[in-house]
Amino acid sequence: MKITLRVWRQKGPEDEGRMVEYRLDDVSPDMSFLEMLDVLNEKLILEGEDPIAFDHDCREGICGMCSLVINGTPHGPEKATTTCQLHMRKFKDGDVITVEPWRAKAFPVIKDLVVDRSAFDKIIEAGGYISAPTGSAPDAHSVPVPKPAADAAFEAAECIGCGACVAACPNGSAMLFTAAKVTHLGLLPQGQPERYDRVVKMVEAHDEAGFGGCTVTGECTAACPKGIPLDTITRLNRDYLAATAGRRKKTR
């Protein structure tokens, strides 16, 4: 396959950045998108140029490190798939592909396609924990969890924190990520003691980090590689209203 890439190159946080065009003449349709970038980088290194910086780790779609806005869509054209699991057979011979980093004030570019996602860590630090006795592990059946709650919590827990929701959102909001964490912990009995405290603290951390506000456009859930449903945000709103309306003061 012949592929033309238009890649965002930025030397560092202070650099202005620009799109640079690269041509690859021998791309295998069986390569993953990241492997295609690896091939390009080897070529660039041989030519004495600076390779393109991009984030990646497990390359099996579960770590949340890879990113890239491919042709304007976070993680590329394939639904519910991370960039590392996207294959070149999804593109046509002769395609021109635009590759950009996540764009958000809270995700500043470090270099090329790598952005700093520590804003997510701040949100997690604010409330992504439970109080539980540590030491000996409790029996698996000591705390009963209703099956529907377990299923919904698991669905939300699939969030890998990649930030595609922010990249896709026209408002630059991270509400889907925040809601996934709030839902995951708030549905389980172990998450109840901090439930109403958590939602307020995490939303505060979200707003402080400079993310935008949610207007329920649904772009996030369409781009999410794990298919986190939009309803998690409704759940967050419900808990947030309950917490701030004073009805649950006792638990705060």
Asked if residue 38 binds another protein (CB under 8 A), the reply is no
Per CB under 8 A, the list member of 69, 123, 164, 188 interacting with another protein is 69
In terms of CB distance, is 45 or 241 closer to another protein?
Answer: 241
State which of residues 9, 51, 71, 190 lies at the interface with another protein (CB under 8 A). 71
Q: Alpha carbon 180 to chain centroid distance?
A: 11
Cβ contact 85:61 at 8 Å: yes
Residue 232, Ramachandran bin (φ over 0: left; ψ between -120 and 50: alpha; else beta) = alpha
* Stretch of residues binding another protein (CB under 8 A), selected from 54-62, 132-140, 184-192, 225-233: 225-233
| Of the candidate residues 58, 132, 143, 216, the single one contacting another protein (CB under 8 A) | 216
Number of H helices, E strands in the chain: 8, 7
Nearer to another protein, 30 or 55 (CB): 55
Find the shortest distance in angstroms from Cβ 138 to another protein: 29
Q: What is the DSSP letter of 209?
A: T
Q: Give dist(CA 8, CA 76) in Å, integer.
A: 15
Site map for another protein, 231-250, x if CB under 8 A? x-xxxxxxxxxx--------
| Binding to another protein in span 138-167, by CB under 8 A | 152
Least gap, CB of 142 to another protein (angstroms): 28
Beta carbon nearer to another protein, 126 or 236: 236
| Buried/exposed 36-53: b ≥16 CB within 10 Å, e otherwise | bbbebbeeeeeeeeeebb
Asked whether position 1 contacts another protein by CB under 8 A, the answer is no
The answer for residues whose C-beta is within 8 angstroms of residue 98's C-beta and 6 or more apart is 6, 19, 69, 70, 71, 72
What's the rounded Cα separation, in Å, for the pair 178 and 187?
14
Cα–Cα nearest to 226, from 49, 47, 6, 64:
64
Q: How many residues bind another protein (CB under 8 A)?
A: 43
- Does the protein bind another protein through residue 217 (CB under 8 A)? yes
> What is the nearest approach in angstroms of another protein to the Cβ of residue 184?
15
The yes or no reply on residue 12 touching another protein (CB under 8 A) is no
Note whether 73 binds another protein by CB under 8 A: yes
Q: Which pair of tokens denotes residue 134?
A: 């540590």
Question: Which x/- pattern over 95-114 shows residues binding another protein (rule: CB under 8 A)?
Answer: ---x-x--xxxx--------
Going by C-alpha positions, the residue among 105, 95, 103, 99 that lies closest to residue 83 is 99
Per CB under 8 A, residues contacting another protein are 6, 8, 19, 69, 71-73, 98, 100, 103-106, 152, 168, 170-173, 210-213, 215-219, 222-223, 229-231, 233-242
